[in-house]
Structure 1
Amino acid sequence: MLHRVLPRGRRAFDSLSEQEILALAISSEEDDARIYRAYADGLRADYPGSATMFEQMAAEEDEHRRRLIARHRARFGDSIPLIRREHVRGYYERRPDWLVRPLGIDRTRARARQMEEQAARFYRAAAARTADAETRRLLGDLAAAEAGHIATAGRLESTHAPEEVQADEAETERRQFILTYVQPGLAGLMDGSVSTLAPIFAAAFATGNTWSTFLVGLSASVGAGISMGFTEAASDDGVISGRGSPVKRGLATGIMTTVGGLGHALPYLIPEFWTATMIAILVVFVELWAITWIQHRYMETPWLRASLQIALGGALVLAAGILIGNA
């Protein structure tokens, strides 16, 4: 059992020979070039300037790999040992790009900077353990090159992703976030907060029993969340509309629908009826204010119009629930 979680079979970095260090550097440069090209492919549709930047960084990693292979051939011949970063204990790891998608532009640039810093540290440590003068010089040059890549990335960024391009890319990312998460989540929060008002307060005033009211609210909230989530996911695959993954939109809608309904159902866990009801009504006002703020903040709806729409709709549904419960 322990062999599944303990890093058995890994070599300590200090135990690597000069040939193995060169082989590790070659495989690392191959991986980094692959990752940069994957970043470029993932960003090209929405962030062409940054995609070009990552393509050029990949080309630089390819040049490093060629220099390392040439040095290995001169020193040890054409047969390069198979050694990769996962074979070395304590060596830095790289996450494949498909694990971090969607590729947020700021996160991707930050990850690239981290990759260059890690590579520079590796080459400095490798150079310190190498006795051959020419190999040591190459590794030292690559350490300086990797450290300089942060500045190079800055220059490439200013060329291919100047401030106006970065502003456009940031706006594109913000718009995608709104389409994938904010709009579906807001629709769910509105549905959960408003549509469950009538059944919860009708049950409260009809029965006067807080536990029964809570069960009604729980079932209404969970049922509405499941229904809204599946409806959102099935309504649009996101390919043509560009609204993003239907699974993510469905989860955002379903979760926020459930949260919106549970907000004013949870107070009925309090045994005292009027205390629970007053707190529930207070929670309703908080929910309606939150919806209004989200509409104004992300959907750019004027405060007055958003307030009137939400307040009027919420008040009508709340009144309907209380009237039906007292009938």
Structure 2
Amino acid sequence: MDSTSTDNLAKTDDATEKKNFILRVIQPGLAGLMDGSVSSLAPLFAAALSTRNSHTAFLVGMATAVGAGISMAFSEALSDDGKLSGRGSPVNRGLVEGAMTFIGAAGHALPFLIPYFKTAMTVAIAIVVVELFVIAWVRHRYMETPLGKAAIQIIIGGVIVFLAGIFIGKS
């Protein structure tokens, strides 16, 4: 084999390895992070604003994080066995997606351990902003989505769900 053939074989192996990493880790992790970060906004902030109690908001946020993490883990693990799609072990994908869902939802629930409601709320909102930009960056880095487009898409979705939580919490 000449060096050109060896180089092409190495490039093919690298491309396959990258594709498998995206299919088996990044995609389920990104789906989990998006679900955990965005879908938990409405219940957490509705509970926070309706009770104005940090402890209650924390409990609702953590219950949402645990429930969503378990649900998404099972959903991903049972969605396909990985044989037809090439997405790898359903158990591994489920664990990745479930863990990232939990992390995404717990991230903005943890500030409600701060007993001062206004401080907790301010920190939680700041964490949501960071989470949304992290999601946009991961989409840009691994899914080859232009950063501006990824940020706009994620921010629009996050803002809509956040506003729903505010609207429900203040009613």
Coarse TM-score class (shorter-chain normalised): over 0.9
2:81 counterpart of 1:241:
no
Partner in structure 1 of residue 34 of structure 2: 190
Matched, 1:166 2:37: no
Note the C-alpha offset of 1:304: 2.0
Show the counterpart of 2:163: 319
Distance 2:58 2:155 in 1: 24
User: What letter corresponds to residue 222 of structure 1 in structure 2?
Assistant: V
Structure number having the greater helix percentage: 2
Quick check: 164-173 or 248-257, which moved more? 164-173
- What letter corresponds to residue 238 of structure 1 in structure 2? G
Cα shift readout 1:118-164 (whole Å, capped 9, x = no counterpart): xxxxxxxxxxxxxxxxxxxxxxxxxxxxxxxxxxxxxx8x7697122
The whole-number CA distance in structure 1 between the counterparts of 2:65 and 2:135 is: 17
Q: CA deviation at 1:322?
A: 1.1
- What percentage of aligned pairs have identical amino acids? 56
Q: Give 5+ residue unaligned stretches, structure 2.
A: none
CA distance in structure 1 between the partners assigned to 2:59 and 2:24 by the alignment: 31
Aligned with residue 212 of structure 1, among 56, 61, 86: 56
Q: 1:271 aligns with which of 115, 136, 146?
A: 115
For 2:12 and 2:143, how far apart are their aligned partners in 1?
A: 18
Give the number of aligned pairs: 171
Q: Deviations over 1:211-250 (max 9, x none)?
A: 1100000000110000000010001100011011101100
Which secondary structure state, in structure 1, belongs to the residue aligned with residue 144 of structure 2? coil
Equivalent residue for 2:129?
285
- Residue 100 of structure 1 aligns with which residue? none
Structure 1: tracts of 5 or more residues without a match:
1-155
RMSD, matched Cα: 1.4
Q: Is 1:181 aligned to 2:25, yes or no?
A: yes
For 1:180 and 1:313, the matched residues in 2 are separated by: 25
Q: What is the identity, as a one-letter code, of the residue corresponding to 2:105?
A: G
Q: CA–CA distance in 1 between the matches of 2:21 and 2:167?
A: 40
What is the match of residue 224 of structure 1? Answer: 68
Q: Which has the higher contact order (CA 8 A, sep 6+)?
A: 2
Moved over 3 A (4+): 158-161
Larger radius of gyration: 1
**Rounded Cα–Cα distance in structure 1 between residues aligned with 2:5 and 2:167:** 60
Q: How does 1:61-100 map to 2 (within 5 A)?
A: none
What TM-score comes out, normalization by structure 1 length? 0.51
Question: Which position in structure 2 is the counterpart of 1:302?
Answer: 146
Determine helix, strand or coil for the equivalent of 1:163.
helix
Q: Which residue identity does 1:181 align to in structure 2?
A: V
Q: CA deviation at 1:168?
A: 1.3
